[in-house]
């Protein structure tokens, strides 16, 4: 189904922005305040109430780190495709925490974190639903094989070929969002991450 002109324009801007920034890399400008960097933050840093936010006095740069400013927001109702091709929503997973990862095959940082996301999914099996939802809009039939080729066989091939979730969130890729069992947001993470680290395990435990 073709995009409307407005959706195509937004999608083009998102793709251009992520391409310029390498999907989630910061610019050379000084780091913004209250940004928790995945490579340097401690468990105490990441479980604090700090919020990633753009500096309104300067052009917005891709954000990296944890963002708690949407805590308590309801999960979106946007539809995406289950592995069997049928439409589904996050409401289908109500009753257990959900770790939602928005990614795409063309996004380098997304692909780089797939093995650790896969390991997290395997370790959390039965406790937290880990949903890696592809935001690819073309050639989506290759997503299952792409996951297999990148060592992510524990991740089911969900696809959002209308980019409803990333456009709805205005999200650069990758973006990962944790929801509690009632479908309320706990936090979101902007950029790539090591989803097997002790600090991240502590973050995910906040939804239990």
User: Could you give all domains of the chain from N- to C-terminal order, each with its CATH number?
Assistant: 5-207 (3.40.30.10)
The percent of residues above 90 in pLDDT, for the chain, comes to: 67
Mean pLDDT, residues 162-189 taken together: 96
What is the phi/psi pair of residue 164, to 5°? -60, -40
pLDDT digits (tens, 9 = 90+) for 104-137: 999 999 999 999 999 999 999 879 999 999 999 9
Give 3-25 pLDDT, tens digit per residue: 444 343 444 434 444 443 446 43
| pLDDT > 80? residue 166 | yes
List residues bridging with 12 in a β-sheet. none
The C-alpha angle 110, 115, 116, rounded to 5 degrees, equals 90
Q: Read off the pLDDT band of 148 (50, 70, 90).
A: very high
Distance CA 100, CA 169 (A): 12
Q: Contact, 101 vs 117, CB < 8 A?
A: yes
pLDDT at 31 over 60: no
- Which of the residue ranges 33-42, 69-78, 143-152, 193-202 would you say has the lowest mean pLDDT? 33-42
- Those residues with Cβ within 8 angstroms of residue 74's Cβ, 6 or more apart along the chain or in another chain: 183, 184, 185
3-state secondary structure of 144: helix
Interval 155-168 mean pLDDT: 96
pLDDT of residue 62: 53
Buried b (16+ CB within 10 A) or exposed e, 35-69: bbebeebeeeebbeebbbeeeeeeeebbbbbbbbe
pTM tops 0.85, yes or no? no
Q: Are 82 and 160 in contact (CB under 8 A)?
A: no
* Environment class of 123 (CB within 10 Å of its CB; exposed 0-12, middle 13-18, buried 19+): middle
**∠ CA 122-51-131, rounded to 5°:** 25
| 48-99 residue pLDDT tens | 333 333 333 443 455 689 999 999 999 999 999 999 999 999 999 999 999 9
CA 37 to chain centre: 16
Structure confidence at residue 208 (pLDDT): 77
Please state, in angstroms and rounded to a whole number, the distance separating the CA atoms of residues 77 and 1: 20
């Amino acid at each position: 189904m073709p995009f409307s002109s407005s959706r195509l324009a937004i999608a083009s801007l998102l793709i251009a922005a992520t391409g310029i920034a390498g999907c989630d890399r910061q610019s050379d400008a000084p780091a913004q305040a209250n940004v928790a960097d995945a490579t340097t933050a401690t468990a105490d840093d990441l479980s604090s109430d700090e919020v990633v936010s753009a500096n309104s006095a300067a052009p917005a740069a891709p954000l990296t780190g944890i963002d708690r400013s949407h805590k308590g927001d309801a999960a979106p109702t946007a539809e995406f495709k289950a592995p069997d091709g049928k439409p589904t929503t996050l409401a289908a997973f109500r009753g257990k925490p959900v770790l939602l990862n928005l990614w795409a095959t063309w996004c380098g940082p997304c692909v780089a974190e797939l093995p650790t996301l896969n390991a997290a999914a395997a370790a959390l099996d039965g406790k937290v639903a880990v949903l890696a939802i592809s935001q690819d809009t073309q050639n989506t039939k290759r997503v299952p094989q792409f996951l297999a080729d990148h060592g992510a066989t524990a991740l089911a091939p969900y696809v959002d070929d209308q980019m409803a979730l990333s456009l709805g969130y205005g999200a650069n890729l990758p973006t990962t969002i944790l929801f509690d069992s009632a479908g309320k947001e706990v936090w979101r993470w902007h950029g790539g991450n090591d989803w097997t680290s002790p600090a991240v395990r502590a973050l995910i435990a906040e939804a239990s």
